A and B are shown apart, each in its own frame.
With several copies, the nearest count.
Chain A
Amino acid sequence: MHIILNGDSHELPGSLTVTQLLDRLQIDPRIVAVEVNRVVVKRDRYSGTVIPDGAEVEIVTFVGGGAR
């Protein structure tokens, strides 16, 4: 299965939930936010949200930045 992850194409072994994707990527879910097809996924829906084939997925976190 194929998705666009943070702008790059990314191969998945099969259908995954958001929880499974974060786990696979070794990303701590507490400090990120996830968008699937431009819609934010609520944190309590991670385990129930299956990522569709071809989806655009964004995983973001906080980085340094201010009034530059």
Chain B
Amino acid sequence: MIIAGRTFTSRLVVGTGKYPSHEIMKAAHEASGTEMVTVAVRRVDLSGKGAAALLSWIDRERIFILPNTAACYTADDAIRTARLAREAGLSNWIKLEVIGDEKSLYPDNEALLEATRVLVREGFVVLPYTNDDPIACRKLEDAGAAAVMPLGAPIGSGLGIQNPNNLLMIKDQARVPVIVDAGVGTASDAAIAMELGADGVLMNTAIAQASDPVAMATAMKHAVIAGRLAYLAGRIPKKPHAVASSPTAGLVTPGAPARS
């Protein structure tokens, strides 16, 4: 997977939140084989209680860090957060989130597009979190996004890919990598995303909140490889039951052919 000229061997991008401990996070990152993790930007805790610095738990020799603008609800907030993230010295990449609704955590595509345009002009490598709308993805790409990151299902829902048809449409038209961001609940969900043609998958809760995050991280590593290989290998066609003697035979499950 190549994004903005940078090559990633692993197609699995993971988060850094909601783990039981930093130790488990580190072990899960290693087990997942990931080469890119995303981190949030927040105010330093001034209470004196030096929280263990997150970055010290990430193996930066092997893992690229992708700051994000999680919890930003306007284009301005997201732009400001992106600038701070860049100045914190990691890179000029940003996982751009502009949340439209606190409950669903769905993106505000209008504000997202605006922020993408501004940040691309300022030289950022922008990876926007968007919904699974092919039109929004095309516009983000036209605005200079280095990848598009459509959601598979609501963040943290674990529902899996809700609308495979949309992902097919998005991938079919995209000239930048498509990374499914949010919605994965278990390994097969990641495999399905890859089988639909996604270039990568981003997940956090599915690993961090599993009963055994390290085992789940290993599962996800295998699932992404499995899904990618299956996509490339060319699966057998599906053969639903063919209803005899009908012009629409087998076309439609669970629909049915016309009878007189």
Contacts and interface: CB of A to CB of B under 8 A. Distances in A.
**A–B proximity contact (CB within 8 A):** yes
Interface of A: 5-8, 25, 27-28, 30-35, 38, 40-43, 58-68
Contacts, number: 128
Interface stretch (B9-17, B215-223, B226-234): B9-17
Contacts of B65: 62
Contacts of A28: 53
B44 A65 contact: no
Given A6-B44, A64-B54, 4 more contacts: A6-B46, A33-B85, A65-B38, A66-B40
B257 interface: no
Contacts of B90: 62
A28 B38 CA distance: 21
B88 A64 contact: no
Contacts of B105: 68
Interface stretch (B136-144, B166-174, B199-207, B241-249): B199-207
A63 to B, nearest CB: 5
A32 B14 contact: no
15 contacts: A33-B41, A58-B43, A60-B44, A61-B88, A62-B39, A62-B42, A63-B51, A65-B39, A65-B70, A65-B204, A66-B38, A66-B203, A67-B38, A67-B181, A68-B17
Contact of A63 (B42, B80, B81, B204): B42
A30 B46 CA distance: 16
Contact of A68 (B18, B83, B84): B18
Contact of B155 (A8, A58, A68): A68
A60 B43 contact: yes
A11 to B, nearest CB: 13
Interface of B: 14-19, 25, 37-44, 46, 51, 53-55, 65, 67-68, 70-71, 80-81, 83-90, 105, 129, 155-156, 181-182, 202-205
Given A59-B43, A61-B41, A62-B55, A67 B67 contact: no
Given A40-B87, A43-B87, A66-B15, A61 B205 contact: no
A62 B46 contact: no
A25 B48 CA distance: 8
Given A65-B16, A68-B70, A38 B80 contact: yes
B23 to A, nearest CB: 13
A38 B83 CA distance: 10
A41 B68 contact: no
Contacts of A27: 44
B76 to A, nearest CB: 9
A68 B97 CA distance: 12
B80 A65 contact: no
A64 B16 contact: yes
A25 B205 CA distance: 33
B40 A64 contact: yes
B112 to A, nearest CB: 15
A67 B208 CA distance: 11
A61 B81 CA distance: 11
Nearest to B40: A65
